[in-house]
Structure formats: C-alpha cells, structure tokens
Amino acid sequence: MSLGDHLRYLRAMKGGPSLDDVAEAIGWEKLGDISQAEKRYRPVYDNDLIEKLAGYYGRPADEFHWHNARPRKFLTFAAAQAMKTKEPLSLTLRSGEVLTGTIEWWDLGSLGLRLADGRLLCVQRHAVVDWPDAINWEDL
C-alpha cells in the first residue's frame, strides 16, 4: 500500500472530509499537493507535507514514511519481475494476511495472483502493504 492508498483509507475512515478540508486543517496552500499525495504512484518527497498529514490523521509520521517507501510504482516493478521469472511472490495485505502465488497479470488497479492450488485471485493493489524487497528500488 502506497502512502496514497493509506491516505485515501484514512480519509474514508475519518468520514470522508474533502481535500479542501484537509488542506485548510493543515494550513497547506496548494490543494494540488494534497491531491497528488493521494494519487501518485511514486513516493511523496515533501517531508513537511507527510508529517503534517500524519498529524492531521493522528498517526505517527514513521507510519507514513513506511508506506511512502512502498509506493505502487515499486509494486509494479516487483510484479513485473515475478511475472517474468515465474517465481512466486508473497504479498502482505493490510489485514496481515499473506498471499503467495505467481503473478499472471498486473495493471493499475489489481494483480492476478495464481495460488499453488490453482485458484486465481484478483488482488486489489490498494490492499497490498508489503512484499519482499519492497523498498529496494530506485525511483526512475
């Protein structure tokens, strides 16, 4: 789960305040920055913004940095590599459940994961929080 997915989750759990509300509450002038933080597939590089958002949601900044280090773009790299090598990939979900299988497809929203027993799961990207070597990628 990228920081963007985490932010969308927390905003929903908070009752769905608008991005304008969030920007106003943290005193952030550029609404676009808040919007992009939720949408980006790459990490957010503004630590001040990350920390202010963490404060707004009442979460530790470390938690936000942890998610920010595992952006969707890097999950794409892991999925693409696993699909190429046909090696199983383990995906840790927000619930703590770990799913292991081979990647049959990936797109912007989901991953096709074939389990060892042959079942094909459609795993939503926003539910995946971690995977092996998740942070060992360089941004392009």
Partner 1 sequence: MDEAALAAKIGKLVTDLTVSEARQWLGKYNRLMKERKEQRPPGTRRTHAPLPEEVDAFELNYLNARIENGETVMFKLFDGATLTGKIMGFSPFAINVRQADGTEVMIQKLALAYYMVQQEETA
Residues that bind partner 1 (CB under 8 A): 8-9, 12, 39, 93-95, 97, 99, 105-110, 112-113, 119-124, 126-127
Nearer to partner 1, 52 or 91 (CB): 91
Q: Using alpha carbons, list the distances in angstroms from residue 115 to 26, 101, 107.
A: 44, 4, 18
106 and 37 in contact (C-beta within 8 Å)?
no
Tell me how crowded residue 104 is: count the other CB atoms within 10 A of its CB: 14
Backbone angles phi, psi at 118, to 5 degrees: 95, -15
Nearer to partner 1, 51 or 63 (CB): 63
Tell me how crowded residue 72 is: count the other CB atoms within 10 A of its CB: 21
